[in-house]
């Protein structure tokens, strides 16, 4: 079963990265294993008479490191329309210009509403000020942003867009705000057992399909890759009842985290393509209990995929 191997890879990564924050497990690399730039919409934050104020400064560009610095942008893909989980998103075609409109019309509204229901009063004031600055300068921001998008379109170089904030000569990113951490963790965990329609698939004191042990709670939507579709009746067993999907694929919360991180490693270091067909390399699960052997195999396979990618670029 390949998910046993994915979980073993994730478990090994977690052991080797003991200083991770919980949110780091759910932040995704926008383009795993690829070089890309991030278009930053930069705002200046300041306090005046104990009140937060915000001004649009400029558009800036940062190169994204696949190793570490992608986490500060707090990117996580969201299924369906309405934008990704946070403000950070991939750039689309210049002619569509859906990205900024989605930020303006949907994502800021959702974020402000969520902050009003939280106890993060200072962040509510900060993002309210940012929203006002974004709306007041929207035409200018849109013009400068689309000019940059056009450059990346012509060069066919990968890019994304996010917000960046300067305060007291220091740069802050989305990950520096508690509300974004909460949103990412919530999206990363709730979606493993609950769908958008509110139906939950989980059970207590059942056997996890990965560990083979009885766990306090198992979830039914925690598969790392999309093996089946549970939003269409014809694809659901258990008399077409979504809530019973945990019977098909029970996974514990701890294993879900291991699968999440194993998937991230595979997508970043063990991916390649053959005649435009992308594929992932996953070691056989019989080596799962041997960390040393697994680590050596991962290094070997990662080196192979990196060399293959380099050869394709040189052709």
According to the model, what pLDDT value does residue 206 have?
A: 93
What pLDDT, on a 0 to 100 scale, did the predictor assign at position 313?
59
86-100: pLDDT as tens digits? 999 999 888 777 889
Confidence (pLDDT) at 109: 94
Q: Is residue 16 pLDDT above 60, yes or no?
A: yes
Q: What per-residue confidence (pLDDT) applies to 67? A: 67
- Region 65-94 average pLDDT: 84
Q: What percent of the chain is modeled with pLDDT above 90? A: 44
Work out the average pLDDT over 218-225: 86
Task: Please compute the mean of the pLDDT values over residues 286-305 and round it to a whole number.
Answer: 76
- The residue-averaged pLDDT of 159-169 equals 94
Output the pLDDT for position 42: 97
Instruction: Considering only residues 92 and 64, tell me which one the structure prediction assigns the higher pLDDT.
Output: 64
| Tens digit of each residue's pLDDT (9 = 90 or more) over 32-51 | 878 899 999 999 999 988 89
Q: Is the pLDDT of residue 285 over 60?
A: no
139-152: pLDDT as tens digits: 999 999 999 999 99
Average pLDDT, rounded, for the chain: 86
Query: Would you state the pLDDT for residue 268?
Result: 83
- The pTM of the full predicted model, rounded to 2 decimals, is 0.74
**Predicted confidence (pLDDT) at residue 252 exceeds the cutoff of 70:** yes
Q: Residue 292 in contact with residue 277, Cβ under 8 Å?
A: no
Going by DSSP bridges, is the β-strand pair 202-207/170-172 parallel, antiparallel, or unpaired? Answer: unpaired
């Amino acid at each position: 079963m390949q998910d046993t191997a994915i979980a073993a890879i994730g478990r090994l990564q977690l052991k080797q990265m003991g200083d991770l924050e919980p949110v780091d497990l759910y932040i995704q690399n926008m383009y795993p294993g690829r070089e890309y730039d991030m278009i930053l919409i930069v705002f200046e934050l300041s306090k005046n008479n104990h009140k937060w104020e915000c001004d649009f400064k400029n558009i800036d560009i940062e190169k994204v490191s696949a190793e570490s610095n992608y986490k500060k942008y707090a990117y996580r893909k969201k299924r369906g329309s309405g934008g990704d989980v946070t403000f950070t998103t991939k750039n689309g075609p210049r002619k569509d210009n859906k990205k900024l409109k989605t930020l303006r019309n949907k994502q800021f509204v959702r974020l402000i509403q969520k902050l009003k229901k939280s106890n993060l009063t200072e962040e509510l004031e900060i993002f309210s000020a940012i929203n006002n600055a974004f709306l007041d300068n929207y035409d200018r921001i849109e013009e400068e942003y689309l000019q940059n998008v056009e450059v990346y379109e012509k060069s066919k170089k990968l890019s994304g867009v996010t917000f960046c904030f300067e305060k007291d000569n220091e740069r802050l990113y989305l990950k520096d705000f508690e509300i974004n951490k909460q949103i990412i963790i919530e999206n990363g965990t709730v979606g493993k057992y609950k769908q958008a329609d509110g139906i939950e698939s989980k059970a207590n004191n059942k056997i996890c399909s990965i560990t083979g042990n009885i766990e306090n709670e198992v979830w039914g939507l925690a598969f790392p890759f999309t093996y089946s579709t549970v939003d269409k009746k014809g694809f659901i067993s258990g008399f077409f009842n979504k809530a019973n999907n945990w019977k098909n694929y029970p996974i514990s919360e701890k294993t879900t985290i291991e699968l999440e991180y194993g998937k991230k490693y595979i997508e970043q270091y063990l991916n390649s393509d053959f005649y435009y067909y992308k594929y992932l390399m996953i070691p056989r699960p019989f080596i799962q209990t041997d960390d040393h052997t697994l680590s050596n195999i991962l290094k070997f396979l990662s080196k192979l995929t990196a060399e293959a990618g380099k050869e394709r670029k040189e052709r």
